[in-house]
């Protein structure tokens, strides 16, 4: 599992590379919490372009991050999910809980 980030205006774009499973989800949570502390006034886009799999453990983390940002008046958006990852959110009934975009450009433009 690898992570990269890019800052554009008041948005942190966080790139996740690899599998989000029971073994790697804690690393994701740690990294995102670190970003939230480092950039407390920034919205967050999670770019899933290079995520090949996501477990239910990762969904719990996404919900937690979404709620934490929302209580601080910030927004979490997700982009570039493949069909397998989207299906996990659909099965759990949580797909409508997140703002999901086909690509990073659309997610960024939605902040305009």
Of all residues in the chain, the percent with pLDDT exceeding 70 is 100
In this prediction, residues 99-110 reach a mean pLDDT of 96
Q: What is the pLDDT of residue 12?
A: 98
d(CA 18, CA 9): 27
pLDDT tier at 87, thresholds 50, 70, 90: confident
- Res 55 pLDDT > 90: no
Mean pLDDT, the chain, integer: 93
Pick the most confident of 59-63, 94-98, 100-104: 100-104
């Amino acid at each position: 599992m690898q992570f990269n980030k890019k800052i554009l205006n008041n948005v942190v774009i966080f790139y996740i590379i690899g599998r989000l499973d029971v073994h790697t989800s804690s690393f994701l949570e740690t990294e995102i919490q670190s970003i939230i502390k480092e950039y407390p006034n920034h919205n967050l886009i999670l770019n899933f372009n290079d995520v090949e799999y996501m477990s239910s453990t990762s969904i719990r983390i996404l919900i937690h991050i979404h709620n934490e940002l929302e209580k601080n008046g910030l927004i979490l958006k997700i982009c570039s999910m493949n069909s397998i990852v989207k299906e996990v959110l659909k099965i759990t009934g949580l797909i409508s809980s997140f703002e999901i975009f086909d690509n990073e450009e659309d997610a960024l433009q939605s902040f305009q």
